[in-house]
Structure 1
Amino acid sequence: MGNTDKFEMIANTYDTPERIHIAKVSSDAIRNYLVDAKSKNAIDFGCGTGLVGMNLLNDFNSMLFLDTSPNMINQIQQKISDSNIQNVDTLCFDFEKEGLSDLHADYIFMAQVLLHIEDVEFVLSRLFDVLNEGGHLLIVDFDKNEKVASDIVHNGFNQDELAGIMTKIGYRDIQSHTFYNGSKLFMGQDASMFILDSQVRRG
């Protein structure tokens, strides 16, 4: 996944109060879209140190923390060990490079991950294949922000354009809304965040 090297370097100091707060509002937004999730399995895709997924552990039957950064995965493994958590697993893997045919989930959520992915449509297509019938992909990310100029991340997303890409892939029942505004939230700029829910229906 994009920018793995950068995340490798900051893994040990990643959990700042600001990031913990954003993870909390992101996980709360995700929780609002969960339906009968207690019996379902989830993937925290691009989990980082697991800040969002750890908030949602009790909402699912089981969870897989997946990231491309070994150091980030080490951080989440330490948290799992320290808290003696049973219903979780970890996987260090890069979806942009190879596919996982034996991986399946009812819910996949990705919080501030898509902006780091160069080929958005390709990765969303791969995730479509991982989701079980009726499964949900939940995306939390920044609204498109013209004040952000970067060579390493997207400057956010237009919700309608993103929904269009996902409809083309085959996602259905797509709904999204902006749920959070913050100062200096995105590359030093004031920004807003949206959540998008979508479902896999192959019939």
Structure 2
Amino acid sequence: MEENIFETIAKKYDSPERIELANIIARKVSEELIQSKDKTLIDYGSGTGLIGLQIADSVKTAILVDSSENMVEIINNKVAANKTPNVKAFVADFTKDMIEIKADIILVSLVLLHIPDTKVILEELYETLNTDGNLIIIDFDKNPNVYHPKVHNGFVADELEALLTSVGFKSTDIQPFHHGEKLFMKHDATLFIAVSKK
């Protein structure tokens, strides 16, 4: 069993830098959720809920899913402390586990870069979405200066759009929305938002 690095860092995950970046992302995602009060959202790879808990008010039900038990435990503690009854959290890895839930919106924020086979996870997310549902991806533009054996160094918009189309998504809109210093493995980086309709 490969060690989940996120189990190890869970308790120290909510650093000031991560909180600041999560706030920027949450504000951007909220713009996509203006008419979503009756919707179910899955935040896949939710970490400690830094984004998912901020956007939970925009939807009927927010389901935060992470492969790290320690991350999910932290989410559950936050939910209990803040009394957010429309939030559920559980441990799962969509690339390995059979998932019975469906959602109208799925958010994957800074998650794809950690998953070796992008197409496989996109196929699973496509199947989990209800018809006409939206997949919202937040990730980094490709950066040739970044190298890590277990992390993609970002994504090229055209290539990602082609991959999403090949999985079955009808349309995708990809826009850069934030550039920051030392955001991505100590390199300057640009974040994009990709919204795809099933």
Quick check: TM above 0.5? yes
d(CA) in 2 for partners of 1:167, 1:12:
38
Distance 1:36 1:80, change over 3 A: same
How far apart are residue 98 of structure 1 and its match? 2.5
How far apart are residue 29 of structure 1 and its match? 1.3
State the partner residue of 2:78: 79
How far apart are residue 132 of structure 1 and its match? 0.4
d(CA) in 1 for partners of 2:195, 2:51:
16
How far apart are residue 4 of structure 1 and its match? 6.2
Structure 2 unaligned blocks of 5 or more: none
**1:63-74 to 2 correspondence within 5 Å?**
63-74=62-73
Q: Normalising by the residue count of structure 1, what TM-score does the alignment of the two structures yield?
A: 0.94
State the partner residue of 2:51: 52
How far apart are residue 92 of structure 1 and its match? 0.2
d(CA) in 1 for partners of 2:136, 2:84:
24
- In the alignment, residue 124 of structure 1 is paired with which amino acid? L
d(CA) in 2 for partners of 1:34, 1:63:
12
State the partner residue of 2:130: 132
1:4 and 1:68 in contact (8 A); partners too: no
1:120 maps onto 2:118 in alignment: yes
State the partner residue of 2:192: 194
Task: Compare 168-177 and 138-147 and name the one that shifted more.
Answer: 168-177
State the partner residue of 1:144: 142
d(CA) in 1 for partners of 2:3, 2:52:
19
Aligned residue pairs total 197
Per-residue CA deviation, residues 111-143 of structure 1 (Å, 9 max, x unaligned), is 100000111100110110110011000000000
How far apart are residue 94 of structure 1 and its match? 1.0
Structure 1 unaligned blocks of 5 or more: none
Q: Normalising by the residue count of structure 2, what TM-score does the alignment of the two structures yield?
A: 0.97
Per-residue CA deviation, residues 10-53 of structure 1 (Å, 9 max, x unaligned), is 10010011111111111111122225200101001000000011
**1:1-12 to 2 correspondence within 5 Å?**
5-12=4-11
- In the alignment, residue 186 of structure 2 is paired with which amino acid? G
How far apart are residue 96 of structure 1 and its match? 1.3
1:41 and 1:61 in contact (8 A); partners too: yes
State the partner residue of 2:153: 155
Aligned-pair Cα RMSD in Å: 1.1
User: Which structure is richer in relative contact order (CA contacts within 8 A, separation 6 or more)?
Assistant: 1
1:99 and 1:126 in contact (8 A); partners too: no
